[in-house]
Chain A
Amino acid sequence: MSDDIMIDDETLSAFLDGELPEPEMQKIRTTLASNTELSERLRMLGMADQAVKLLSRAVDHEPLPESVLQLLGGDDRETAPAAHPTTFARFRPMLAPALGFCLLLLAVGLVFVSNREPMNETGAFPAIAEYSAYLDTLPSGETVSLAGARLQNRFSFISTGGEYCRQYQLITDTMASENIACRSGNEWELAAALSSPAIPDDSEFRPAGIQDDLNRLLQDMMQGSALDLETEQALIGSRWQQAPTP
């Protein structure tokens, strides 16, 4: 192909971070769908990042130094809970291998979602119609910039109602939102949106309360585990037209 791009580690690394022009991103996605070796290499690079993030969170279990708290005139209880690692974030499949992910049951009851009611979208975030194309095509773990926000797809799953769903994050300068959208017919419909003030420059953190609510929702909605990368790529390629197989 005359327009082949060289896919080396530098290219894969930039793809991992969503930092390539969209035409290049698309070419790489197409190549990944049929190149197992390249997919594996991408997975390993992603794992390296996961290792770094995992290590960075390890310090959260240590109490903050008293001397610093005294400088700021506060104590540990006043610090934002958002910095503490959450079970869900640890299992987030940036580049899911062919394994499912487990969610831990929470001590506080489960939220039962019987019927999906139409969600009222707030003005703080783009409407789903503005980014539904990315729910169609953006693989899990990738980030895309929208007008005034960034979207990152976290993972895909089949709901207990037999629909394809995606869990994703929207983040603006001031707000962050964890969302679940499910596919009904040929449209994505917003099933859940949990918002919180955003912590600038860090899209990893979610307040513990939001995380608990999200975990409960997912526990209730998910049929089995998150879809693996290969399955998700096939669904993206088929525009989510394949019938869900439980």
Chain B
Amino acid sequence: MRKELLQILPNLRRYAWSLTNSVHDADDLLQNTVERLLARGMPEGANISKWAFTVCRNIWIDECRARKVRSSEEWQADKHDLPAVEGDRNMQHKLDLQKINEAIKQLPQEQHLVLSMVAVQGLAYREVAEELDIPLGTVMSRLARARSSLVKILELEGGYIDSVTH
């Protein structure tokens, strides 16, 4: 199992990052996920990637609930949430990523989660509905609202969304 986890580790980390929007929190989430997987194993015949993503998501949901109960000061995002950019990229690119990051953080948690599962994890709607135990229509509406909210937020930057994706 360790070898298989090593193989999917970068993908899993990308997913953790898409959920948390903080490098620090993503790596914490990744560690917690790996620890749980190693401690509890997985059901026989389960797809390790699917299982690992599910565990990661469940830990994140639990952590979100716990944070809401604790002091609100702990919930503030770190100013340095973004990963380091490559040496040949400029500061503008980092600022662009920061804007996208901030836009995604404005989404309600349930929309953010569905968007991550579809856009980052690549799940079909039916799979998202099964994983989250919600109706298919709810998946569709949350996803649509998430996308249209992002369009609205990023459009406010003045044609920003075109520049950041090219």
The answer to whether A and B belong to the same complex is yes
Q: How far is the CA of A80 from the CA of B147 in the complex (A)?
A: 31
Contact among A19, A54, A200 with B125 in the assembled complex (CB-CB below 8 Å): A19
Closest to B94 in A: A58
Tell me which residues from 82 to 139 in chain A have a Cβ below 8 Å from any Cβ of chain B. Answer: 82-84, 97, 99
Which residues does chain A contribute within 8 Å of B161, judged by CB atoms? 44, 47-48, 51
Contact status B122-A201, CB under 8 Å: yes
Q: Is B113 at the interface (CB under 8 A from chain A)?
A: no
Contact status B144-A13, CB under 8 Å: yes
Which residues does chain B contribute within 8 Å of A72, judged by CB atoms? 2, 5-6, 9, 34
Q: How far is the CA of A99 from the CA of B166 in the complex (A)?
A: 10
| Most central of B14, B18, B144 by chain A CB within 10 Å | B14
Q: How many chain B residues have a CB neighbour from A under 8 Å?
A: 65
Contact status A48-B154, CB under 8 Å: yes
With A44-B161, A72-B6 known as contacts, the answer to whether A52 contacts B115 (CB < 8 A) is yes
Contact status A51-B140, CB under 8 Å: no
Contact among B85, B86, B125, B154 with A14 in the assembled complex (CB-CB below 8 Å): B125
Query: In the assembled complex, how far is the CB of residue B59 from the closest CB belonging to chain A, in whole angstroms?
Result: 14
Contact status A59-B83, CB under 8 Å: yes
Which residues does chain A contribute within 8 Å of B64, judged by CB atoms? none
Q: Is A244 at the interface (CB under 8 A from chain B)?
A: no
Which residues does chain A contribute within 8 Å of B151, judged by CB atoms? 44-45, 47-48
Query: In the assembled complex, how far is the CB of residue A102 from the closest CB belonging to chain B, in whole angstroms?
Result: 10
Q: How far is the CA of A229 from the CA of B97 in the complex (A)?
A: 26
Contact status A74-B100, CB under 8 Å: no
Query: In the assembled complex, how far is the CB of residue A21 from the closest CB belonging to chain B, in whole angstroms?
Result: 13
Q: How far is the CA of A53 from the CA of B11 in the complex (A)?
A: 12
Q: Is A27 at the interface (CB under 8 A from chain B)?
A: no
With A53-B119, A62-B83 known as contacts, the answer to whether A205 contacts B34 (CB < 8 A) is no
Overall SS of chain B's interface: helix
Which residues does chain B contribute within 8 Å of A13, judged by CB atoms? 140, 143-144, 147-148
Interface flags for A1-14 (1: CB within 8 Å of B; 0: not) read 00000001110111
Which residues does chain B contribute within 8 Å of A55, judged by CB atoms? 18, 21, 97, 100-101, 104
Contact status A48-B7, CB under 8 Å: no
Contact status A9-B144, CB under 8 Å: yes
Q: How far is the CA of A59 from the CA of B24 in the complex (A)?
A: 11
With A51-B161, A53-B120, A201-B123 known as contacts, the answer to whether A61 contacts B86 (CB < 8 A) is yes
Q: Is B162 at the interface (CB under 8 A from chain A)?
A: yes
Q: How far is the CA of A64 from the CA of B8 in the complex (A)?
A: 12
Tell me which residues from 197 to 214 in chain A have a Cβ below 8 Å from any Cβ of chain B. Answer: 199-205
Contact status B6-A61, CB under 8 Å: no
Contact status B97-A58, CB under 8 Å: yes
With A13-B140, A71-B35, A83-B10 known as contacts, the answer to whether A203 contacts B122 (CB < 8 A) is yes
Which residues does chain A contribute within 8 Å of B124, judged by CB atoms? 17, 19
Q: Is B118 at the interface (CB under 8 A from chain A)?
A: yes
Which residues does chain B contribute within 8 Å of A79, judged by CB atoms? 6-7, 9-10
Contact status A59-B14, CB under 8 Å: yes
Q: How far is the CA of A84 from the CA of B9 in the complex (A)?
A: 11
Which residues does chain B contribute within 8 Å of A202, judged by CB atoms? 11, 49, 121-122
Which residues does chain B contribute within 8 Å of A56, judged by CB atoms? 14-15, 17-18, 116, 119-120
Which residues does chain A contribute within 8 Å of B3, judged by CB atoms? 74
Sample 13 A-B pairs with CB under 8 A, ordered by A number.
Answer: A13-B144, A13-B148, A19-B125, A48-B154, A53-B119, A53-B120, A54-B164, A55-B18, A55-B97, A58-B97, A69-B9, A71-B34, A79-B9
Q: In the complex, given contacts A58-B83, A68-B27, A83-B9, what are 12 additional A-B residue pairs having Cβ atoms less than 8 angstroms apart?
A: A17-B125, A45-B147, A48-B147, A54-B97, A55-B100, A55-B104, A56-B14, A61-B84, A74-B6, A97-B162, A199-B49, A202-B121
